[in-house]
Structure 1
Amino acid sequence: MTCRFCNKEKGPKKKKKQEGGGNDHVVVMNRKFRNSEIEAILSLFPLLYIGNGSSSACPLHLIVEEISVNINRCVIASNAKTARKKVYLLSLEPALFQMKSNNLGAVRSSRVKMGDLSASWVLENPVDGRHDHPKSFQMVEDPFQSGMTFEEKTEHPPDDHQAGVGELPYSRLSSMSPVKLKRREMRQERRNLRTAELIGKDKEANNQMAAAAIERSKGFDPIVKGKYSIWRSDYESPNSDSTLKLMLDQIIMAKAYANIAKSKNESNLYNSLMKHSKLSQHAIGEASSDVELHSSALNRAKAMGRVLSIAKDKLYDCLTVERKLRAMLQSTEENVSDLKKKSAFLTQLAAKTVPKPLHCLPLQLASDYFLLGYHSREDVNKEKLQDPSLYHYAIFSDNVLATSVVVNSTVLHAKEPNKHVFHVVTDKLNYAAMRMWFLVNPPVGATIQVENIDDFKWLNSSSCSVLRQLESARLQEYYFKANHPSSLSLGSDHLKYRNPKYLSLLNHLRFYLPDVYPKLDKILFLDDDIVVQKDLTPLWSVDLQGMVNGAVETCKESFHRYDKYLNFSNPIIYANFDPNACGWAFGMNIFDLKEWRKRNITGIYHRWQDMNEDRTLWKLGTLPPGLITFYNLTHPLDRGWHALGLGYDPALNQTAIENAAVIHYNGNYKPWLDLAISKYKAYWSKYVMFDNPYLRLCSISE
């Protein structure tokens, strides 16, 4: 038999020798090694224990000598396969040999776990001349600590025979088999894939949540009444008006002490307090912050402080001062209440009073209408007036200038102006002026029809509840007699509904649209206090889903729900309507006239209007009966179509105003009045033709 290490013939199998038992071979753990293998092992573990498992141990120099003697000779082992597996640096066992030396110089062995050794240890063959070649090695790191996967690099030797059974992979430090390492690598790969998948899902979920939050936020109005924001001027500095507040408090205390001084005959102190009070008031003037105070204000405050200190020493009595301050507080509250009532009355008066320039304009137009012969002109494009395939608008107004702005702004943003038809209805007093304006200033491409409401003979007291109510003595006394209760005593809520517009038949004509335009299928109703900022033709394509009215809901705030408009203490209202139902706005409404006729909406309006003859169901106006008439018959439009509140709320979102298709100046502060909120007026005035001769003649300017 030939030895597979040295290619020499071997004799019959002999009994296994003891440790170092001859010069022919060296026995290490029942296995014989080549000299290169032994040198490599000794270079790593110089105190390696070599023996046959007995309790005795050879001194290190004897082992080295024995190896050097047999360095070029064949090594034979009784069980080479088993010995080879154990000596591959115990790569298949979870321990290595660690040598310890006793006092006699002998070598003993103990075990150490692979995890306790450095992962940077690499085995090299010290007698192998191929140090320039890359070594075979394997790194095993904790994937949960380093975040790296197992990496295995192997340089296959060029000799296929050496890569066979007899090869010693000195570089394998791991106690795991390649199969286990491969499994761990595959597990780690699956973990990484699962982690990436979860991260991706997490990002996708976050994106979906963000998109949902953005979409939901569009349904909320970002405006909060009072606007408690750190960016307000009130919050620029916590002490921005500390001096002003101090001086105002000093004046209050000075008046209180002056009254006490007067009651105790302290005339000198009384005169001093009143004098400094007037000086402080003069120093404050109309200032609303410290920066607006007069330069002498701080000195005035110091002087007042000294006088108050003297008054406190002489006059201070807790109960007396408390009574005086309570009396002053009550008096001040009464004054504030009276001033609020006066303010409400004057605001309502200004809102329903026609300014001189606006009174001049219809007079000039009406005069020229008859003097210049425009009254004999016929309407053009009559065939378009009843064409249901076109875009029809209804505007009911007695304000020439406001109506012109509505028409101009709508036509300017229309993509096909020639397909737009405006039906303007006004009263007898303003008919000539309204018709004259659109005859001399026709909108480019669009068709205009101006009608007189008095020409609608079918609209009489027998068919119209509002006209019938106006003929009642109680209503006439309530609105037109001078002996009704004082307007001031009723407060602003009642004053609002004393505006003549709430009794105007023009205001109630919106409930008779199918009768006014019997051949039309759809019509867009517009108030005269709106401005159009986008093309409105897509509204005709909105699916109302069987509803009659398409409108923007206004229930973003609690005071725009049904219970704020209707009297739910009345059992009829309570039984038929939900107090928390969402309100909506008149001003821009798309009406399906086919569905209107089918459901007899005008008949519903008449029935409820007759039931409210004594004004117990709701106050006067058109919105409450509109909410009742179109209850559960209104399709909500996107909020971007209609922005409201420009006639009463100075704290609206500027972005929402600019992005809205229609902006509405509902409220008392109309854009053509001096009451108008200045920052909103520009949206309206840019559609006014200030270079028009009639406007210049009546001194209507920006």
Structure 2
Amino acid sequence: MAKEEPQENQLLKMELDPQGEDTVIKFENTNIQASELVDSSILGKYSTWKKQNDNKNEDSIIRLMRDQIIMARIYLSISKKKKKVDLSEELQICIKRSRRVLGEANIDAELHYSAPQKIKAMAGVLSKARDQLFDCKLVVKKLRAMLLTEEEKVRRLKRKNTFLTQLGVKGIPGGIRCLSLRLTVDYYLLPPEKRNFPRSENLQNPKLHHYALFTDNVVAAAVVVNSTVMNAKDSSKHVFHLVTDNLNFGALKMWFLLNPPEEATIHVENLDELMWLNSSYCPVLRQLNSAALREYYFKAEQSTTPSSSASSLKYRNPKYLSMLNHLRFYLPQIYPELDKILFLDDDVVVQKDLSGLWLVDLEGKVNGAVETCVENFHRFDKYLNFSNYYIARDFDPNECGWAFGMNIFDLKEWKKRNLTAVYHTWQNLNEDRSLWKLGTLPPGLMTFYGLTYSLDKSWHVLGLGYNPSISPLEIENAAVIHYNGNMKPWMEMAMTKYRPYWRKYIDFNHPYLRQCHFIK
């Protein structure tokens, strides 16, 4: 017989024979026959897992106790129904004691030393309950009811998690709000003659490399511009066209006046000053201002069925109500003098020189993008409603989807084909959201259908805002990495391992960032 150890040191692990034969519970230096602790038939009957490898089975006692609690709850329900008062009280006491011992433990070593005694006591009561109450059909019925109840709890928790995630996405971190306010105040204290950027003559030069970036996030814009310029072979050839809203206009201008991007050219415009962009010309602007869409957006969580409620929550992201998000369909109108432009989302990081994109032959197509389909995933039927007549008539459900967020556009070809009018047509047909729900990718797939050139995947790697499984090598080899998804790199919920790729382009010693308590 092995030397006895204190009970608090005996909770390493145990092996359970699901058939209840020769069951042994093995503690650190002591082997206790199951019959000494729990009747082996009880162990067999109430153990729902198979014998596992010693080194991997670190929560066997926890799982046994949870199994016992489940069976005790079933017999408690039956005993109450059959008015077995004494047995009900015993079961309730055992359940309460077992739960107290379990507490917040995740592995056996975290359990209270009294766990073996509680297992033995519970097994005895369960044995008594089995002898008095066991009815196979009734037990199965109770188990099924418990399973349905737990599944509903899981669904509710998933919906709550989705809602809280979207709430987190809506909230702008305090540091960014602080930065925007400080920059705005200082911008409007500047004399008017000091509010202009140099090299304005480059803004309409089609021979240079032009970028479009539409954002209301100063820090995100700074990272996009900094990363592009720092990795450019010749920064003087790059021109950045930024559009923001009235609230962030001063802040964005002040940031780049204080932090000019080397020899690159930069220009910041106010969305509200694009006078041609009005609801009579732009269907989506009319729809964004409509009471119907506002009600759909703000009451999305009030869907009558769990599945529709869960799916609608993802559309509560504020970007769906921002005209900055839809401005990408008006690139030829905003920049009529340009032939080509590279569109970048504000949640990307540029890691290599992008000059080569202006040399890509799009072969008469309008949009150069990286395709995103893998086997049956991310094809048109994922984004569009093919039960709709117009969708089924004009599109192939198996057509490969592509990524919005880093796109090289041939604006001359765009204007020749009048694609903004095509976009307007589809947007008008989707007034009731019967073709697609919300967002810009579905209408993008439709507008540029048959007009998208597939870029090499190394140009644009996606998923850093939701996919934890992207290989470091794939990220390192990418020209642009994209934090699409809810876990933006400036949010607390960002994935830690992807943050350094974004944060390396922020100077945390900058006076404004220090004042707003940005922590590296």
Q: Same fold (TM over 0.5)?
A: yes
* CA-CA distance at 1:483 after TM superposition: 12
CA RMSD of aligned residues (A): 2.4
CA–CA distance in structure 2, aligned partners of residues 565 and 655 of structure 1 = 30
Which residue in the other structure is 2:13 paired with? none
- Distance change (3 Å), C-alpha of 1:297 and 1:653: farther
Which residue in the other structure is 1:239 paired with? 57
- Distance change (3 Å), C-alpha of 1:435 and 1:235: farther
Which residue in the other structure is 1:569 paired with? 387
Amino acid of the residue matched to residue 329 of structure 1? Answer: L
Amino acid of the residue matched to residue 560 of structure 1? Answer: H
The reply to whether residue 628 of structure 1 matches residue 469 of structure 2 is: no
CA–CA distance in structure 1, aligned partners of residues 150 and 306 of structure 2 = 19
CA–CA distance in structure 2, aligned partners of residues 622 and 523 of structure 1 = 18
* CA-CA distance at 1:559 after TM superposition: 3.2
The reply to whether residue 524 of structure 1 matches residue 315 of structure 2 is: no
CA–CA distance in structure 2, aligned partners of residues 483 and 642 of structure 1 = 34
The reply to whether residue 683 of structure 1 matches residue 498 of structure 2 is: no
Q: How far does the alpha carbon of each residue in 1:525-555 deviate from its partner, in whole angstroms, 9 at most, with x for none? A: 1000111111111111111111111100000
Which residue in the other structure is 2:296 paired with? 478
The reply to whether residue 534 of structure 1 matches residue 362 of structure 2 is: no
CA–CA distance in structure 2, aligned partners of residues 593 and 236 of structure 1 = 65
Which residue in the other structure is 2:247 paired with? 429
Q: How do 1:75-154 and structure 2 match up within 5 A?
A: none
* CA-CA distance at 1:267 after TM superposition: 3.5
Of 647-656 and 392-401, the range deviating more from structure 2: 647-656
CA–CA distance in structure 1, aligned partners of residues 397 and 307 of structure 2 = 28
CA–CA distance in structure 2, aligned partners of residues 700 and 473 of structure 1 = 39
- Distance change (3 Å), C-alpha of 1:267 and 1:655: farther
Report SS of the residue matched to 1:424: strand
CA–CA distance in structure 2, aligned partners of residues 481 and 312 of structure 1 = 49
Which residue in the other structure is 1:579 paired with? 397
The reply to whether residue 545 of structure 1 matches residue 359 of structure 2 is: no
Which residue in the other structure is 2:180 paired with? 362
* CA-CA distance at 1:374 after TM superposition: 6.7
Amino acid of the residue matched to residue 605 of structure 1? Answer: Y
The one of the two structures with greater contact order (alpha-carbon pairs below 8 A, sep at least 6) is: 2
CA–CA distance in structure 2, aligned partners of residues 659 and 532 of structure 1 = 11
Of 667-676 and 299-308, the range deviating more from structure 2: 299-308
Which residue in the other structure is 2:225 paired with? 407
The reply to whether residue 442 of structure 1 matches residue 287 of structure 2 is: no
Which residue in the other structure is 1:273 paired with? 91
- Contact residue 297 and residue 315 of structure 2 kept, 8 A: no
Amino acid of the residue matched to residue 665 of structure 1? Answer: Y
- Distance change (3 Å), C-alpha of 1:365 and 1:374: farther
The reply to whether residue 377 of structure 1 matches residue 195 of structure 2 is: yes
Of 610-619 and 563-572, the range deviating more from structure 2: 610-619
The alignment of Structure 1 onto Structure 2 pairs a total of residues equal to 469
- Distance change (3 Å), C-alpha of 1:475 and 1:279: same
CA–CA distance in structure 2, aligned partners of residues 327 and 256 of structure 1 = 10
CA–CA distance in structure 2, aligned partners of residues 473 and 325 of structure 1 = 47
- Contact residue 187 and residue 195 of structure 2 kept, 8 A: no
Report SS of the residue matched to 2:408: strand
Percent identity of paired positions between Structure 1 and Structure 2: 61
- Distance change (3 Å), C-alpha of 1:412 and 1:261: same
Which residue in the other structure is 1:608 paired with? 426
- Distance change (3 Å), C-alpha of 1:673 and 1:604: same
* CA-CA distance at 1:465 after TM superposition: 1.3
The reply to whether residue 455 of structure 1 matches residue 273 of structure 2 is: yes
The reply to whether residue 497 of structure 1 matches residue 339 of structure 2 is: no
- Contact residue 380 and residue 401 of structure 2 kept, 8 A: yes
Report SS of the residue matched to 1:621: coil
- Contact residue 97 and residue 118 of structure 2 kept, 8 A: yes
Amino acid of the residue matched to residue 355 of structure 1? Answer: P
Report SS of the residue matched to 2:277: coil
Report SS of the residue matched to 1:690: coil
CA–CA distance in structure 2, aligned partners of residues 440 and 356 of structure 1 = 21
- Distance change (3 Å), C-alpha of 1:439 and 1:492: farther
Q: How do 1:212-291 and structure 2 match up within 5 A?
A: 239-291=57-109
Q: Out of 445, 459, 470, which is 1:641 matched to?
A: 459
Q: Out of 315, 326, 332, which is 1:508 matched to?
A: 326
CA–CA distance in structure 1, aligned partners of residues 475 and 117 of structure 2 = 47
- Contact residue 249 and residue 268 of structure 2 kept, 8 A: yes
* CA-CA distance at 1:371 after TM superposition: 2.6
- Distance change (3 Å), C-alpha of 1:236 and 1:436: farther
Report SS of the residue matched to 1:650: coil
Amino acid of the residue matched to residue 425 of structure 2? Answer: R
CA–CA distance in structure 2, aligned partners of residues 682 and 247 of structure 1 = 43
Report SS of the residue matched to 2:316: coil
- Contact residue 298 and residue 316 of structure 2 kept, 8 A: no
* CA-CA distance at 1:460 after TM superposition: 1.4
- Contact residue 550 and residue 637 of structure 1 kept, 8 A: yes
Which residue in the other structure is 2:284 paired with? 466
Which residue in the other structure is 1:590 paired with? 408
Q: How far does the alpha carbon of each residue in 1:53-106 deviate from its partner, in whole angstroms, 9 at most, with x for none? A: xxxxxxxxxxxxxxxxxxxxxxxxxxxxxxxxxxxxxxxxxxxxxxxxxxxxxx
CA–CA distance in structure 1, aligned partners of residues 195 and 322 of structure 2 = 29
- Contact residue 303 and residue 309 of structure 2 kept, 8 A: no
Of the two, which has the highest radius of gyration?
1
* CA-CA distance at 1:436 after TM superposition: 0.8
Report SS of the residue matched to 1:491: helix
Report SS of the residue matched to 1:380: coil
* CA-CA distance at 1:614 after TM superposition: 1.7
CA–CA distance in structure 2, aligned partners of residues 615 and 288 of structure 1 = 46
Q: How far does the alpha carbon of each residue in 1:421-462 deviate from its partner, in whole angstroms, 9 at most, with x for none? A: 111110111100111111111222222111111111111122
* CA-CA distance at 1:576 after TM superposition: 0.4
Report SS of the residue matched to 2:207: coil
Report SS of the residue matched to 2:377: helix
Q: How far does the alpha carbon of each residue in 1:590-626 deviate from its partner, in whole angstroms, 9 at most, with x for none? A: 1111211121111111111111112111111100000
Which residue in the other structure is 2:159 paired with? 341
- Contact residue 211 and residue 241 of structure 2 kept, 8 A: yes
* CA-CA distance at 1:245 after TM superposition: 2.1
Of 608-617 and 649-658, the range deviating more from structure 2: 649-658
Of 545-554 and 678-687, the range deviating more from structure 2: 678-687
CA–CA distance in structure 2, aligned partners of residues 395 and 294 of structure 1 = 57
Which residue in the other structure is 1:419 paired with? 237
Q: How far does the alpha carbon of each residue in 1:475-522 deviate from its partner, in whole angstroms, 9 at most, with x for none? A: 344345899757988423222223231121111111111111111111
* Structure 1 gap ranges (5+): 1-233
- Distance change (3 Å), C-alpha of 1:278 and 1:653: farther
Of 690-699 and 635-644, the range deviating more from structure 2: 690-699
Give 1 or 2: higher helix fraction: 2
Amino acid of the residue matched to residue 470 of structure 1? Answer: L
- Distance change (3 Å), C-alpha of 1:487 and 1:537: farther
Amino acid of the residue matched to residue 493 of structure 2? Answer: L
- Distance change (3 Å), C-alpha of 1:689 and 1:483: closer
- Contact residue 395 and residue 422 of structure 1 kept, 8 A: yes
- Distance change (3 Å), C-alpha of 1:569 and 1:279: same
Q: How far does the alpha carbon of each residue in 1:181-230 deviate from its partner, in whole angstroms, 9 at most, with x for none? A: xxxxxxxxxxxxxxxxxxxxxxxxxxxxxxxxxxxxxxxxxxxxxxxxxx
Which residue in the other structure is 1:330 paired with? 148
- Distance change (3 Å), C-alpha of 1:481 and 1:311: closer
CA–CA distance in structure 1, aligned partners of residues 110 and 504 of structure 2 = 35
Normalised by the length of structure 1, the TM-score is 0.63
